[in-house]
Chains A and B, each alone.
Chain A
Amino acid sequence: DQQVKQNSPSLSVQEGRISILNCDYTNSMFDYFLWYKKYPAEGPTFLISISSIKDKNEDGRFTVFLNKSAKHLSLHIVPSQPGDSAVYFCAARSGGYQKVTFGTGTKLQVIP
């Protein structure tokens, strides 16, 4: 039972354009969402997060949008850079409970 879904396994974007990575979840108890970036043979690194009481959080080129009614969140990267090429994982957590559930990841390729 995949509670966090990233339906696009890969995405290619031209440098300078916007990258939009999508994530859907099924568990309505999730109240905190995170995005991680991962390079091959390395551990994921935290990128940005959003609490369920917000619908948008911005950090530099990265913005996460949350639509609770649709159980959908998205990560926008503007402008996209070649160094953004990596696998992006969406993740979710419920309450103060530490356990985080990850999606299957989306591989982003930014073409120079």
Chain B
Amino acid sequence: DGGITQSPKYLFRKEGQNVTLSCEQNLNHDAMYWYRQDPGQGLRLIYYSQIVNDFQKGDIAEGYSVSREKKESFPLTVTSAQKNPTAFYLCASSPQGAGYTFGSGTRLTVV
């Protein structure tokens, strides 16, 4: 079954620590995306990648970093520079010119 997998489902981080969220897809999609969901703010784009070894900042990239070394994988690192990291993070992928397939999300909580 093709799909997009995010892990872990729940993640707790201490203040000042970096943490990496995993996103893997076996759909052979070229493009991948990271969104953040906060109550009342919808989905906001953090980073996106349209091709391997290339990625672009979205609307709220500060405090985050990504890599795209393989077509299947697009990990997101939440750094200590991100002031409000507690949120629900969604990864998505898409082929050219089509809609997104989303993962099931990771809930990150800073403790």
- B-binding residues in A (CB < 8 A): 6, 9, 34, 36, 41-46, 49, 89, 96, 98-105
Contact = CB atoms under 8 A, between A and B. Distances in A.
A44 B90 contact: yes
A27 to B, nearest CB: 13
Binding site secondary structure of chain B: strand
Nearest to B91: A43
- Which 7 pairs show the lowest CB-CB distances between chains A and B? A43-B102, A104-B42, A102-B43, A98-B31, A46-B99, A43-B104, A102-B42
Given A43-B103, A44-B102, A98-B31, A104 B90 contact: no
Interface of B: 4, 6, 31, 33, 35, 40-45, 48, 50, 58, 88, 90, 92, 94, 96-97, 99-105, 107
Contacts, number: 57
Among A41, A45, A89, which residue has the most Cβ atoms of chain B within 10 A?
A41
Given A46-B99, A46-B100, A98-B31, A41 B105 contact: yes
